[in-house]
Structure 1
């Protein structure tokens, strides 16, 4: 496991946060592998870049006016061309009616190196942080 790989994966996760918060859903989906998956804690699954992009539009444009994804406590493990990562998430948001809130969650992700670049293979989101 190299420090460069860990740094690249952490940067990828930060890009994930910024792109979803900026509403760049196509660019957000492009961070995933072609068959990448996002799994919510209720089992709802979005698979492939087209579904991922639609998830961004359907959920974030319809539910929130603004969001800020803040990830902390990164633990990244690399094994060749695959890796796993775990983060705490604090999601700050404002709804169209002006309601503000914060949600806590845990990300458990897997990554694959594709053509020399790290991509997100799976995101598993669980609300709450296990307190």
Structure 2
């Protein structure tokens, strides 16, 4: 089986900028820098979990980090792999596998697997996340 060729309009600079943005997203939430994490999103960006729970806009996103994520995990390390990024002008899509290494407040450690299916948009010349969709478990997003 021959792998699919990358889209003709994908540039190395755009792919690198989107990958860097996703890595900053991971570091910011793991470091507890929830304002910086929310800043990875477009002003009206959304974080959508596979149960339909949605956080929209930077204020809600920052509150999610502080009130939900921070309560769930004492420590965390997001690791994203297998990036597949397609760019179309000022919008893009990306898929990633996630291994979330974490420790709870009770001291329990685990690894949680998930998949991201993201949408990106260029805002004032910078790539931002328009929507991050996370599907927990080994199930693949459709």
The TM-score with structure 1 as length reference comes to: 0.98
Which of 103, 114, 119 is the equivalent residue of 1:110? 119
Among 87, 110, 128, the residue aligned to 1:119: 128
Per-residue CA deviations over 1:57-91 (Å, capped at 9, x if unaligned) read 11221111000000000000000000000000000
TM-fit CA distance, 1:47: 0.3
SS of the residue corresponding to residue 97 of structure 1 reads coil
Structure 2 alignment gaps of length 5 or more: 1-9
Which of 24, 30, 45 aligns to 1:21? It is 30
Does 1:54 pair with 2:63?
yes
Give the distance between the partners of 1:64 and 1:16, measured in 2 at CA: 16
* Rounded Cα–Cα distance in structure 1 between residues aligned with 2:70 and 2:88: 36
TM-score by length of 2: 0.90
Which secondary structure does the structure 2 equivalent of 1:18 belong to?
helix
Name the SS for the 1:74 alignment partner. strand
Q: Rg larger in 1 or in 2?
A: 2
**Runs of 4+ with deviation above 2 angstroms:** none
Structure 1 residue 129: deviation in Å? 2.6
Matched with 2:90 is 81
- Per-residue deviation, 1:130: 2.9
Per the alignment, residue 11 of structure 2 pairs with: 2
Equivalent residues of 1:88, 1:129 under 8 A apart: no
**Structure 1: unaligned runs, 5 residues or longer:** none
Residue 81 (structure 2) aligns with: 72
- The CA RMSD measured in Å over matched residues stands at 0.9
> Residue 107 of structure 2 corresponds to which residue in structure 1?
98
Give, in whole Å, the separation in 2 of the partners of 1:28 and 1:81.
21
Larger deviation, residues 71-80 vs 53-62: 53-62
